[in-house]
Structure 1
Amino acid sequence: MKKWTLLLVMMMMTTMVLSACSSGGNDNKKKEEGQVPPSEKEEVVELKFTVWGDLTTGSVEQQLADEFNAAHKNINVKFEPIPGDGYGTKLTTSLAAGQAPDVFLIGEGDFYKYVDKGVVEPLDSYVEADSSFDTAIFQQDLLEMGRIHGKLSYLPKDFNPLSLWYNKKLFDAEGMEYPNADWTWTDLNEAAKKLTKKDDKGKYTQFGYNATKWEYPIFTYLWSNGTDITNEDGTKADGFMNSDKTIAAMEKYVAMSKGEEKVSPTPQDAETLGGDGSMFMTDKLAMMVNGRWTKYDLDRSDVNYGTSLIPQGENGERGGIIAAAGWAINANGKHKAEAYELVKWLSGKEAQILRSEKGTVLPATIAELDQVKATEVADQPIIEMMEYSKKPVTMISSNGPIFVEEFNKAMEKILLDKSSVRDALNEAAKAVDSTINK
């Protein structure tokens, strides 16, 4: 009886082993023939990322997306750019609806805003756990720009210091020397007077400088004159936005686009003539303060241009701003670990090199910027402006948008002759502090 029992057990074990082998063989054969059920296949994570611009200006990002997909078989990335004018609105709407891309680009002026909305994923834990990625490759000032409320929220895409751009043809026509590092704002104003022209009917045909209403160039003007619209931590406007120094500086600034001796188009004039870039390229504007992104259009035109440091104030002070952009991960995204891999890729050295080759931006990584510094000749002053760059109020406080909104309202009243500089700035300062202290 025991022998029969033992024999039966051995037969059952043999059957089970054969069955298992047969099953494994079939599974292997199915895998070889691509017949594995979808549930058993390796999952491919779908990601989307966006920037402002169009497919032409964003071709580098498309190339980076293609290369990322080739290197990551388990992640498929789709690049979906949004036109610049509608970027903020569409991104905000998609974030509110829970339909935003997994990774998106934010300009430095909005770094605080999107973090405060709770839609940006902090990156510290990802970076700390990643031994293959070292943030020391970045210029640390740029990296720290992306650290909001003590948390790293953005990785640098690129950056652009503002500088003075001048039309060589218009200077040559007057036999005038080009702007240089010793120029003060008084020197610029005097040169602009000689470069401003009218026709026989008194109509302006050429302007010496564009005293734009865009706050960034205005901030550089105020800083060079030893003043600002805010205190150091962006918590108070009264006594700063409406200080005697600020009012005096703004009266001189506004005077550039007012009266019979104006040297600058009004914002309405500039808009009618196609903006400062268009005026500059058609020899209707001699000088402007702008970022290096303007090269994209200038280099495709016939304009002969140069760059210089933004003028200094009478006391030798000089102010500049670095315009930068940072990659963020959607805090409500479903695949944040994979999104982090994409952000690293879009911020990495190869990405920095690809973008800087076009000459419209500067690389945010140390080694790659050193290479540009070593080879750059014509636009060397743009790089030098890095030494004078300061943070605008939008980069030092969550209150930044309040300051900018009220300051812009004041500028509109001033330029439309609805208020004096003093009254408009007094009103704006009170409005800022009132809103902050609510």
Structure 2
Amino acid sequence: MRTRLTLSVMALAMAASPALAQPAADITAKLTIFQPVNQQMIDSTDKAIARFKLKYPNVTIEPQFVPQPSWGEYNTSFINQVATGAAPDIMFSAIEGFAETANRGLLRDLGPLIDADPTAKAVLDELDPNLLDGMRTRSTGQLNFFPTEWNNIVVYYNKDMFDKAGVAYPADDWTWADFRETAKKLTIADANGNVTQYGYFVPGFNFGLTPWFLTNEASVLDADWKQSAVATDNFRESLQFLHDLINVDKSAPAFESGVGDSKFVAGQVAMFSAGHWPIPEIRASGLTNVGVQIMPVNKVKTTVFGIGGLAVTSASQNPELAWEFVKEMTGKEFQTELADSERSIPSWRSLATTDKYLSFPDNAAIFYGSAATAKPVASPPNFAQVEEMTMRHVGAYLNNNEDLDTTISGLDSELSRAMKRAYN
């Protein structure tokens, strides 16, 4: 099934690679768009459909909002739908799902469309080149997704807690050693020795853990995302550092899944790591004295990024219309709505650097400021499998259910087998 599906859609893609003609304004057609279900996406899509109707009144847009417990499950839903012959015209995904769908030939190469479209080129001019390079399908160099938004990981901190403890706010040149001492000073216990405030919440999700590897020149996979890279001194050092925050310094609570933002707004932790998405909840909590800083450095100053985009499927019977709607869903109106929602960083630099967007938290300029040096989260075609293996072994070690040697050897062995299967 997979081979037949891949060959057929690749043939369609090859046949349909030239630039597309502008559709007539009176065209009658229907488009379907496959997206994850969340309120911001629903609202933005409804508004984009209304705008599109003014240009193409006889075109019907049918959104399909799909549950997204993980990007792996979301991609599987898309692939299964294509296999039934009911492929949508447009698909949204994050970088974690780019390779799995693009490598199967399910998506058009947008390069020829962009080259022939000044409007599209202007949109890409708003995106940092480093982010654009990270979007390309590594096996082909094609751009199969057109950018909508992105996120990175920074450190959030409660300035009131720093002030109360007499601790200086983190500087943009802080090191792992600085961070460790800061987390210790911000950890408070009661008379019985029970911790009432932790210095830091160790991120319980793959994307959040990744900067702790990258800032130490380590990674789960090699630069090509094809081989395990965990059997290195640097990766070992990263895990040991996080383990010691929890189990030696006691400056972080027991490792658990999650971001840590709920504990932050509840006053239980002074620092946590995340992208832009927790800001609405922080605002709603009433916390106002909040700052952000880049991730602390051990060997290199960097962080991770993930980016989302829209693709036109190879099976679409109306690719020219689908492309026009992709542009509607990535244009200035959409980007302005995205900036106002504060859930992500707009791909448009001009809208991610306005005074309004940078007004909260303190030092918010570092969000887009990291674009040139951030590294894409490792996203091989078997991303979901790699993520599950990584989190299972790392979690076992951080919770003292495995020793470090067992964690490294077990994860390396599983990853090595998985990557061979993924590329053979």
TM-score, normalization by structure 2: 0.81
Aligned counterparts, 1:296-375, within 5 A: 296-304=280-288, 305-313=290-298, 315=299, 317-369=300-352, 371=354
Q: State the alpha-carbon separation in 2 of the partners of residues 83 and 286 from structure 1.
A: 32
2:345 partner letter: L
Q: How far apart are 1:307 and its partner, in Å? A: 0.8
Q: Partner residue of 1:115?
A: 102
| Corresponding residue to 2:132 among 143, 154, 162 | 143
Deviations, residues 100-141 of structure 1 (Å, cap 9, x unaligned): 543221111221112124332322343345465425434233
Q: State the alpha-carbon separation in 2 of the partners of residues 376 and 267 from structure 1.
A: 32
| Corresponding residue to 1:289 among 261, 264, 273 | 273
Kindly indicate whether the alpha-carbon contact (under 8 Å) linking 1:220 and 1:318 is maintained by their aligned counterparts in 2. no
1:192 partner letter: A
1:92 partner letter: T
Tell me: CA distance 1:415–1:132, structure 2 relative to 1, closer, same or farther (3 Å).
closer
| Corresponding residue to 1:222 among 206, 213, 237 | 213
2:255 partner letter: P
2:144 partner letter: S
Kindly indicate whether the alpha-carbon contact (under 8 Å) linking 1:247 and 1:421 is maintained by their aligned counterparts in 2. yes
Q: Partner residue of 2:369?
A: 384
Aligned counterparts, 1:25-424, within 5 A: 44-55=28-39, 58-85=42-69, 89=73, 92-97=76-81, 98=84, 99=86, 101-130=88-117, 133-134=120-121, 136-139=124-127, 140-148=129-137, 149-237=140-228, 240-259=229-248, 261-268=249-256, 276-304=260-288, 305-313=290-298, 315=299, 317-369=300-352, 371=354, 378=362, 379-394=364-379, 397-398=380-381, 400-401=383-384, 403-424=386-407
Q: State the alpha-carbon separation in 1 of the partners of residues 210 and 70 from structure 2.
A: 25
Q: Partner residue of 1:27?
A: none
Unaligned residue ranges in structure 2 (runs of 5+): 1-25
Kindly indicate whether the alpha-carbon contact (under 8 Å) linking 2:201 and 2:253 is maintained by their aligned counterparts in 1. yes
2:371 partner letter: M
Q: How far apart are 1:391 and its partner, in Å? A: 2.4
Q: State the alpha-carbon separation in 1 of the partners of residues 386 and 222 from structure 2.
A: 11
Q: How far apart are 1:87 and its partner, in Å? A: 7.0
Higher helix share: 1
Tell me: CA distance 1:57–1:173, structure 2 relative to 1, closer, same or farther (3 Å).
farther
Tell me: CA distance 1:290–1:428, structure 2 relative to 1, closer, same or farther (3 Å).
same
CA RMSD of aligned residues (A): 2.8
Kindly indicate whether the alpha-carbon contact (under 8 Å) linking 1:320 and 1:390 is maintained by their aligned counterparts in 2. yes
Which structure has the bigger radius of gyration? Answer: 1
Q: How far apart are 1:372 and its partner, in Å? A: 6.0
1:252 partner letter: F
Q: How far apart are 1:45 and its partner, in Å? A: 1.4
Q: How far apart are 1:279 and its partner, in Å? A: 0.6
Tell me: CA distance 1:281–1:406, structure 2 relative to 1, closer, same or farther (3 Å).
same
Q: How far apart are 1:425 and its partner, in Å? A: 1.1
Q: How far apart are 1:80 and its partner, in Å? A: 4.1
Q: State the alpha-carbon separation in 2 of the partners of residues 69 and 431 from structure 1.
A: 50
Q: How far apart are 1:71 and its partner, in Å? A: 2.0
SS at match of 1:288: strand
Q: How far apart are 1:188 and its partner, in Å? A: 1.5
Q: State the alpha-carbon separation in 2 of the partners of residues 232 and 90 from structure 1.
A: 25
Deviations, residues 24-77 of structure 1 (Å, cap 9, x unaligned): xxxxxxxxxxxxxxxxxx663122324334335642332122111222123122
Q: State the alpha-carbon separation in 2 of the partners of residues 381 and 312 from structure 1.
A: 15
Kindly indicate whether the alpha-carbon contact (under 8 Å) linking 2:231 and 2:408 is maintained by their aligned counterparts in 1. yes
SS at match of 2:109: coil
SS at match of 2:284: coil
Q: Identity rate of aligned residues, in percent?
A: 20
Q: State the alpha-carbon separation in 1 of the partners of residues 40 and 153 from structure 2.
A: 24
Tell me: CA distance 1:86–1:45, structure 2 relative to 1, closer, same or farther (3 Å).
farther
Deviations, residues 157-197 of structure 1 (Å, cap 9, x unaligned): 01222211011222222232222212212111111112223
- Count the aligned residue pairs: 386
Kindly indicate whether the alpha-carbon contact (under 8 Å) linking 2:34 and 2:91 is maintained by their aligned counterparts in 1. yes
Q: Partner residue of 2:4?
A: none
TM-score, normalization by structure 1: 0.79
